Structure 1
Amino acid sequence: MAEWRSALKGQLSLGKVGTSDGSGVTFSEVTRVSLLQIAAWPEAWKSVGAEAARLAGTETAPGPGMMAQGAEGNLLQIEPLKWWLISRDDRQDRASLAIKDGVVLDLSSSRTWINLNGPNATHLLNHFLPLNLSDTAFPVGSVASSAFHHIGITLWRDETGFNLLFPRSFAVSLWEQLTDSAAQYGFVVI
């Protein structure tokens, strides 16, 4: 496997920006990511969902627009017959399915994972995303595909805050837009 490299290298200036306490939003890039797409054929979606849940370390596969957090990673159902298994490590073990059931595709190098939280994280994201991100409309475990400045992104909420998956080739420009807008709230990059 090729050496992992950050798409944001040289863009991440660690520290506080904006207001004096810099506490409005906290950003971090999750590095050394493993992202597997697990796609099922319609007649095998139940068994493939069960296999995806087993790989993630969860009891069951999440439903549409939901995420399940397991011992081996987060399992997101991004489409009716597709799950993404994402973890915070660059795992070498890869899943496989019988061709009659579905297909597994390694997307690890295709996305940049940004975690953001803080009291103004929702306000910041609503500058860019046409989604209701309130706690009641988008609670922990929710997943959405949306457009960020005309670029398709994936967003989910976990106990730590919001997580964004940007296409790697647009990561720098989307990062710049996020941080430029976050300056009004004060932010810190860790």
Structure 2
Amino acid sequence: MTRKEKNLMYKYLKRTNALDTYLTQGINNNATIFFSIEREIKIQQIGTWHKNFNEVVNYLNSFITNSDCAKHGLVNLGKNFCIIRNEPLRWWIMGDSDKIISSLNTENAVNLDISHSWVKLNISGLNSEKLLLHHIPLDLRDKKFPIFNFKSSSIHNIGVKLLKNQKGYSLFLPRSFSVSIWKQLIKTADQYQYQIN
């Protein structure tokens, strides 16, 4: 598929989110947790082999000033995208990745569009960390999990990804399990009062 065809597909195909029918927006003046879904996420996954690791890191670093794409879990921020090494030989590029993907040397690495495989749930508010600690076995304190870091974890044996940003957290759920995880999160969030934006 050419880049032009891919852009047309993104433009004209209406994306449905696995959680759309479960999200009822409303205002709760007592809310201490705020949920929102990011519907138009773009995630490209790049994978490589041990022998090509340094070449791929240098290639990815060339797109971002002062970046360290070799560092695991660090969110390297570009102009309209970010690059994250989330597994030993894999990176996620979120956002506008066309320039990076179009000039990628396919002898050193391969890419896969995984945008439709994940649901991005943004969680913020005073008790957002407490909510996550009910479900995710991670130390979320700033010293152990600073802003612009990314970690892999699980919720009831289902692999999830967690990104910490200035507003709170972005929780990446596998699309096929997103509804069951959502129901668990909402059940826990009831005790803290929540709002869906």
Q: Quote the residue 1:21 is aligned against.
A: 30
| Equivalent position amino acid for 2:152 in 1 | S
Tell me the secondary structure at the aligned position of residue 32 of structure 1: coil
In the superposition, relative to structure 1, how do residues 58 and 156 fare at CA in structure 2: closer, same or farther (>3 Å)?
Answer: farther
For the pair 1:179 / 2:186, whether they are aligned, the reply is yes
Matched residues in 2 for 1:33 and 1:93: separation?
17
Matched residues in 1 for 2:20 and 2:47: separation?
31
165, 168, 176: which one pairs with 1:158? 165
In the superposition, relative to structure 1, how do residues 121 and 58 fare at CA in structure 2: closer, same or farther (>3 Å)?
Answer: farther
Matched residues in 1 for 2:128 and 2:109: separation?
37
For the pair 1:147 / 2:154, whether they are aligned, the reply is yes
114, 118, 126: which one pairs with 1:119? 126
Matched residues in 2 for 1:40 and 1:188: separation?
41
* Deviation sequence 1:44-66 (CA, Å, 0-9, x none): 222212333455x4542431122
Matched residues in 1 for 2:157 and 2:121: separation?
18
Q: Which structure carries more helix by proportion? A: 2
Tell me the secondary structure at the aligned position of residue 126 of structure 1: helix
RMSD of the TM alignment (CA)? 2.0
Q: Quote the residue 1:51 is aligned against.
A: 59
Q: Quote the residue 1:32 is aligned against.
A: 40
Give how far 1:70 is off.
1.9
Tell me the secondary structure at the aligned position of residue 175 of structure 1: helix
Q: Quote the residue 1:6 is aligned against.
A: 17
Question: Which one is further off, 167-176 or 57-66?
Answer: 57-66
For the pair 1:134 / 2:141, whether they are aligned, the reply is yes
| Equivalent position amino acid for 2:30 in 1 | D
* Deviation sequence 1:155-187 (CA, Å, 0-9, x none): 111112111110001111111111111111111
Q: What are structure 2's unaligned runs of at least 5 residues? A: 1-8
Aligned pair count reads 184
Question: Which one is further off, 124-133 or 35-44?
Answer: 35-44
